[in-house]
Amino acid sequence: MKLGRTIPLSVLAATAAVGIPAAAAFPSAPAAVCQGAEGYAAAFGGRRTFTLRPGELEAIKASLASDPAVAQAYRALVVQADRALARKPGSVLDKRTIPISGDRHDYVSLAPYWWPDPANPKGPYVRRDGQVNPERETNRFDRVAFGRMGSDADTLGLAYYYSGDRKYADKAAAIVRTWFLDPATAMNPNMNYAQAVPGREDGRAEGVLDTSGLIAVIDAVGLIGPSGALSADDVKALESWFSRYVDWMRTSPNGKAEGAARNNHGVWYDAQLARFALFARRDDIARRTVTAFPAARIAKQVDASGALPHELTRTRSFHYSVFTLDAAYHVADSAACLGTDLYGADANGRSLRKATAYLAAYRGRQSEWPYKEMKWPAEALDELLTRADAAWGPGAYPRAASGEIVLRYRAAH
């Protein structure tokens, strides 16, 4: 699709019917610069984002009434945002399981690929790679409520930005205060009991991955910033929560073990640590993380061809390869805020660009993928390549993704 093209009056009428703001003039301007812990705030009307870029979102907003795909995505966003308005904010107190600590404010989840052993039903759980135990998604644990909190905050932040309707900002703020700030309902900043395996471990290093959704929450907080729905004191308290979680990540046994992981978990650890440290205004920690990334991750986890060997052994090898690069792009976005170019970094002939090209070559050619893959992630690949084109384009990779991502990245320049 092309921005600014002429469309039928019937489409414009349908767009107006759901309250899409009229397109505004969008003059060309220099690319916004992410400035350390302040993110893009200076170039984005005080909106302190780190992944979401002013140039992308402002151009999309200007095309709301003239681009059918953007209009459709906006209408779907409003539907989701209105559903979020109707939901009660969740908290860690909603789960039915009491953590072994006895403190209901501690997060608890079940490891995804672990199941009761048919040969020993009362014994330790056994692993089935790629097969998610549905018990994980029940209210016995925090994962469902935690995931809904993150997705609702993200949706409401976008809805507020595009509509300007204060009710979306107010609800996002209520969700954030309930999960992180209200002493009666706030989650403790640790993952001590995340991804537990009954009969084996009360919590695992891999559980740190559960908090990856908080990267989007940080940008949602930025998007609603100009509304004042979260006070300055609220934001400082939230920064303090993330600072304490950064300390837990760096000093706890589970946190340190996750940081030492050599597969996607290690990359996601860096993605979270760098972003959370930036939000907590601890630039020194974020800087050390992104500076070490080429030698610690790219050189060790990307091979000379661009493949990610640690992910290729999985039953969902392509999915996990895409998943790993998704995390790496978050690290690169954080690095850009600190004046470091990880998108262009080369570590002994290994790079994010080469790893991206390796996966892009199989777009539309899944039958030629030589490794195991239980469910081809075509949509996830298109979303990854849309992000890749934002980094290396325009025109480096196809921006063929559809749905909500067109509200985050322009379809064309």
Q: For residue 135, what pLDDT is reported?
A: 86
Which token pair is 413? 């320049």
- Residues 294 and 331 sit within 8 Å (Cβ to Cβ): no
- Residues 112 and 195 sit within 8 Å (Cβ to Cβ): yes
Q: How far is CA 226 from CA 47, 78, 222, 240, 398, in A?
A: 7, 20, 8, 20, 33
Dist CA 111 CA 119 (whole Å): 20
Q: Which of helix, strand or coil describes residue 258? A: helix
- Residues 156 and 220 sit within 8 Å (Cβ to Cβ): yes
Q: Which residues pair with 316 in a beta bridge?
A: 373
Q: How far is CA 361 from CA 25, 216, 358, 369, in A?
A: 38, 28, 6, 10
Question: Within a 10 A sphere around the Cβ of 132, how many other Cβ atoms?
Answer: 14
Q: How far is CA 246 from CA 94, 242, 274, in A?
A: 25, 6, 9
Residues 6+ apart with CB under 8 A from 342: 290, 293, 294, 328, 331, 332, 335, 336, 352
- Residues 338 and 290 sit within 8 Å (Cβ to Cβ): yes
Dist CA 132 CA 120 (whole Å): 19
Q: For residue 7, what pLDDT is reported?
A: 29
Q: Which of helix, strand or coil describes residue 407? A: helix
Q: For residue 412, what pLDDT is reported?
A: 64
Q: For residue 136, what pLDDT is reported?
A: 83
Q: How far is CA 390 from CA 31, 45, 158, 397, in A?
A: 12, 21, 19, 9
Give this prediction's pTM.
Answer: 0.90
Residues 6+ apart with CB under 8 A from 26: 58, 59, 62
Q: For residue 30, what pLDDT is reported?
A: 59
Dist CA 128 CA 35 (whole Å): 44
Cis, peptide link before residue 394, omega less than 30° from 0:
yes
End-to-end CA distance of the chain: 10
Alpha-carbon torsion, ordered 11, 4, 34, 210, to 10 deg: 30
Which token pair is 372? 């195991």
Return the half-sphere exposure (C-beta side, CA atoms, 13 A cut-off) of residue 245: 30
Return the half-sphere exposure (C-beta side, CA atoms, 13 A cut-off) of residue 141: 25
Each residue's pLDDT expressed in tens, for the chain with a length of 413 residues: 222 222 233 333 333 333 434 333 333 445 789 999 999 999 999 999 999 999 999 999 999 999 999 999 999 999 999 999 999 999 999 999 999 999 999 999 999 898 998 999 888 999 999 898 898 889 999 999 999 999 999 999 999 999 999 999 999 999 999 999 999 999 999 999 999 988 899 999 999 999 999 999 999 999 999 999 999 999 999 999 999 999 999 999 999 999 999 999 999 999 999 999 999 999 999 999 999 999 999 999 999 999 999 999 999 999 999 999 999 999 999 999 999 999 999 999 999 999 999 999 999 999 999 999 999 999 999 999 999 999 999 999 999 988 999 999 997 65
Q: Which residues pair with 196 in a beta bridge?
A: 110
